[in-house]
Amino acid sequence: MPAQAERDQRHTLRRLHDGSGLLSAAAMRKLDESLPWYRVLSAEDRSSVGLVVQAGISSFITWFSDPSTPPHGASEIFASAPPELTRSISLQHTLQLVRLIVEVVEDQSDRLAAPGAERDLREAVLRYSREVAFSAAEVYARAAEVRGAWDARLEALVVDALVRGEADDALRSRVAALGWSGHGHTLVMVGTTSQPLDDVRAAELRRATRRAAGDALVGIQGDRLIIAIGGEGDLRAAAASLLPRFGPGPVVIGPSVPSLAEAGRSAAAALAGLAAAPAWPTAPRPVLADDLLPERVLVGDLVARRTLIEQAYVPLVAAGGSLLDTLAAHVENGRSLEAAARVLYVHPNTVRYRLRKVSDVTGWDPLDPREAYVLQTALALGRLDGTGTTAQAL
């Protein structure tokens, strides 16, 4: 460096040190005048932004004493501010702060630079601001990575609590922290993954789930994948759209419930359905947990057992007449109308009429092979519980 240029730099550096307070005051005034988002920050956050601005000016002056060294990055500038500041101001806001410091130094360059060295000072601050801007992007990327890892752990805790049916105040505060709005109903779907999900694939899965529904939670438990979705739209359609995100094998959708606090019922039904699904190899994919009631009974699901009795057997008992006898004759004689008619000493059309009434009462059609199996299971369960079982007794 020529001797004159070196003398000019030392002169400018002294004037920068002497004028650092002037630069900080000018920057704070410009902050308040130029940046609307700064004015609406809390007093604590405005104070933190002020510390960042002062640290940026001080860091520039330190670097200017030896421009051959790399500039201090944004991580050092943000060191004086609390980490939570990255939640209050965005990367765009931070870049606006950098530009503002550049503008303040440029505005004051005639007063701070040695005579004839004004251009050198402006070029130096532009170079410094470019490096700090790149560093700021790294700071926010790391902050986002940390928040993402924390959110993933919190989400795993919430899904685990749902599976265990723990709906307490802690759960509500945790889902609120994850951005769950709580509008509309909720359902849970479960399945398996074809291979372990790394962080990148897990993040993509979470993004896809949030695109599918207004509210979404993802739990990855080994090779088991649990997704809770909520909202006011068609949740079953949203769940079906996520089917490609699962590996091969059954995918079960639990019943819709009014709120996340009751999502444990949906999760329990879906998980029981996943355990029972191999008993129905031709089941659709995805399959509703309520369509697996007979299979869930076989794996010891007491909720499925109670549901079948309450929704199929008890209504037939309450209907009176000969509906229960007709259903029994039909399923126990090869599901043949003629064979059932001979046992009951009635015309086959009478059997057909009564079976339609069975469908009206229970919602399951005895003439459909799958639904006849559901009704036959309900009939057996009702008999085991006693012929006089009523809804009140249950």
pLDDT band at residue 80 under the 50/70/90 scheme = low
Per-residue pLDDT, 62: 78
pLDDT band at residue 393 under the 50/70/90 scheme = very low
Edge-first strand order for the sheet with 252-253 is 215-221, 224-231, 185-192, 252-253, 287-288
Confidence check: pLDDT of 256 > 80 = yes
Per-residue pLDDT, 90: 67
Per-residue pLDDT, 141: 56
Per-residue pLDDT, 392: 37
- Is residue 237 within 8 A of residue 207, CB to CB? The reply is no
Per-residue pLDDT, 394: 37
- Is residue 190 within 8 A of residue 224, CB to CB? The reply is yes
pLDDT band at residue 283 under the 50/70/90 scheme = very high
In the chain, what are the domain boundaries?
Answer: 3-145, 184-296, 301-385
**Which of the two residues, 368 and 66, has the higher pLDDT score?**
368
pLDDT digits (tens, 9 = 90+) for 89-133: 666 677 677 777 777 777 777 777 777 777 777 777 777 776 666
Report, as an integer, the average pLDDT of 233-254.
90
Per-residue pLDDT, 232: 85
Per-residue pLDDT, 14: 79
Torsion region of 71: left, alpha or beta (phi above 0 gives left; psi -120 to 50 gives alpha): beta
**Which of the two residues, 154 and 349, has the higher pLDDT score?**
349
Residues whose CB is less than 8 angstroms from the CB of residue 331 and which lie 6 or more positions away in sequence, other chains included? 366, 372, 375, 376, 379
Are 184-296 and 301-385 the same fold in CATH? no
- Helix, strand, or coil (residue 229): strand
Containing 252, the helix (H) or strand (E) segment is: strand 252-253
pLDDT digits (tens, 9 = 90+) for 38-59: 888 888 888 888 887 777 777 7
The residues facing 189 across adjacent strands are: 227, 253
Residues whose CB is less than 8 angstroms from the CB of residue 248 and which lie 6 or more positions away in sequence, other chains included? 192, 194
Report, as an integer, the average pLDDT of 260-282.
91
Least confident piece of the model among 169-178, 325-334, 375-384 = 169-178
Confidence check: pLDDT of 312 > 70 = yes
The percent of residues above 90 in pLDDT, for the chain, comes to 31
Counting Cβ atoms within 10 Å, is residue 11 exposed (0-12), middle (13-18) or buried (19+)? Answer: middle
Report, as an integer, the average pLDDT of 214-221.
82
Query: What are φ and ψ of residue 297, in 5° steps?
Result: -60, -40
Report, as an integer, the average pLDDT of 152-167.
73
pLDDT digits (tens, 9 = 90+) for 335-351: 899 999 999 999 999 99
**Which of the two residues, 145 and 178, has the higher pLDDT score?**
178
Per-residue pLDDT, 391: 40
Pairing of strands 252-253, 224-231: unpaired
**Which of the two residues, 360 and 98, has the higher pLDDT score?**
360
pLDDT digits (tens, 9 = 90+) for 180-196: 777 888 899 999 887 77
Q: What is the spatial distance between Cα 256 and Cα 160, in angstroms, rounded to a whole number?
A: 19
Residues whose CB is less than 8 angstroms from the CB of residue 269 and which lie 6 or more positions away in sequence, other chains included? 254, 255, 289, 290, 296, 303, 304
Looking at CATH, the fold of the domain delimited by 301-385 is given as Arc Repressor Mutant, subunit A (1.10.10)
Per-residue pLDDT, 288: 95
Average pLDDT across the chain, whole number:
80
pLDDT digits (tens, 9 = 90+) for 160-172: 777 777 766 666 6
pTM for this model (two decimals): 0.61
Please give the CATH architecture assigned to the domain spanning 184-296: 2-Layer Sandwich (3.30)
Per-residue pLDDT, 366: 94
The residues facing 229 across adjacent strands are: 187, 216
The percent of residues above 70 in pLDDT, for the chain, comes to 77
